[in-house]
Amino acid sequence: MSRIAYVNGRYLPLRQATVHIEDRGYQFSDGVYEVCEVRDGYVIDQRRHLARLQRSLDELGIAMPMSETALAIIMRECMRRNRLHDGIIYLQITRGVARRDHGFPPPGTHPSVVVTARSIDFAGNERTAAEGLAIITVPDNRWQRVDIKSISLLPNVLAKQAARERGAKEAWFVDQDGHVTEGSSSNAWIVTKGGKVVTRPADNAMLRGITRTVLIEVIEAHGLQFEERPFTVEEAQGAREAFLTSATFTAIALVLAVTALGPVRRPLTAPEPVEVEALAAEAA
Ligand code: PDD
């Protein structure tokens, strides 16, 4: 079955699903995106993802081209046409098609909307989560508004590739003070020796992950010790555990901390599995 994508009003086989070469997303990375997890045919945390999408658009001054309800219908239709049960929905909205000029295009330029759906082998992710994965650290050389989920991801792409070339699965960005900001496509967490779960406050130096927000709620509901504060690579190396979260990694993934300089540390012990049911219930 060939995959079907939504592009500016039409559902098309992927091969025919194209955008104009003067789309500002293509030429300037002038757009935003969301990745939503789909489990058992349900979009997890849809409301929060669409709220974050709206915020990203507002921050960049791009008008939301349709109602949230209309966008939700398109997401459902993409799932239906792709027979998606478990996987991800990708949404992208750019400032639209216009003659190349750095300034904003004339009023009336329609934002471009693309929605795709893809199956994911969550069992593979869960195996990875159980086994743990290796990370590297890289200097955080990104712009100062990475809280906006923009499609401008070149430093993230380079960081992920650097990780892969070193046999790791993720790269943690480290700021000038030695604090971990986040992963190239995930948020970063540690559990201290004293059992406190720690993650950085969601400032402009990182993306406020939806999975992160939900997990904080789960942690608080369970009365676990929790602190939102920056942590260093050294603290992560000495921590009891470290893990990451993203829409494609609902379950906690362990990491082996590999610094840019240092050797692989010990494998860390498996955590309690995160409560996927609790997350799904929240989304319903
Ligand atoms: N990435 N930080 C960055 C830089 C991310 O790209 C992501 C998600 C996250 C976690 O956010 P959430 O929990 O809302 O997925 C944090 C998606 C999955 C991606 O780009 O594919």
Can you list the domains of the chain with their CATH numbers?
4-120 (3.30.470.10), 125-283 (3.20.10.10)
Q: Kindly give the number of the ligand 1 atom that is closest to the alpha carbon of 90.
A: 21
Ligand 1 pocket mutation pick from 246, 248, 274, 282 by most atoms within 8 angstroms of CB: 246
Give me the residue label for tokens 């590999």: 258
2 CA → ligand 1 middle, Å = 27
Instruction: Report which residue type is found at 62.
Output: I
What is residue 190's three-state secondary structure?
strand
Please compute, for residue 35, the number of CA atoms within 13 A of its CA located in the half-sphere on the CB side.
19
Q: Kindly give the number of the ligand 1 atom that is closest to the alpha carbon of 184.
A: 4
Number of continuous H segments (helices) and E segments (strands) in the chain: 8, 14
Alpha carbon nearest to ligand 1 atom 16, residue: 186
Structural tokens at position 119: 């199956």
Nearest to 176 by CA among 205, 152, 204, 153: 205
Tell me what percent of the residues of the chain surpass a pLDDT of 70. 87
Q: Between 245 and 255, name the one with better pLDDT.
A: 245
Alpha carbon nearest to ligand 1 atom 2, residue: 186
The backbone torsions φ and ψ at residue 147, rounded to the nearest 5 degrees and listed phi first, read -70, -20
46 CA → ligand 1 middle, Å = 14
Given a cut of 90, whether residue 268 has pLDDT beyond it is no
Query: Rounded CA gap, 257 and 241, in Å?
Result: 10
- Average confidence (pLDDT) over 135-150: 96
Confidence of residue 64 (pLDDT cuts 50, 70, 90): very high
Nearest to 139 by CA among 260, 23, 234: 260
**pTM for this predicted structure:** 0.89
Which of 27-41, 72-86, 199-213, 241-255 is predicted with the least confidence, judged by mean pLDDT? Answer: 241-255
Confidence of residue 41 (pLDDT cuts 50, 70, 90): very high
Active site residues: 149
Query: Rounded CA gap, 156 and 185, in Å?
Result: 7
Query: Rounded CA gap, 172 and 235, in Å?
Result: 13
Query: Rounded CA gap, 199 and 226, in Å?
Result: 8
pLDDT at 218: 85
Ligand 1 pocket mutation pick from 35, 37, 116 by most atoms within 8 angstroms of CB: 35
Contact between residue 34 and residue 105 where contact means Cβ atoms under 8 Å apart:
no
Query: Rounded CA gap, 95 and 152, in Å?
Result: 13
Q: Kindly give the number of the ligand 1 atom that is closest to the alpha carbon of 206.
A: 2
Name all residues whose Cβ lies below 6 A of ligand 1: 35, 156, 182, 185-187, 207, 209-212, 245-248
Give me the residue label for tokens 């098609």: 97
Phi/psi region, residue 141 (left: phi>0; alpha: psi -120 to 50; beta: rest), is alpha
- Looking at the DSSP assignment, which residues form a beta bridge with residue 226? 197
Nearest to 276 by CA among 90, 52, 89, 39: 39
Structural tokens at position 169: 């699965």
Average per-residue pLDDT for the chain? 87
247 CA → ligand 1 middle, Å = 6
Structural tokens at position 166: 């070193």
pLDDT at 250: 58
How far CA 22 is from CA of 108, 113, 252, in Å, comes to 16, 14, 40
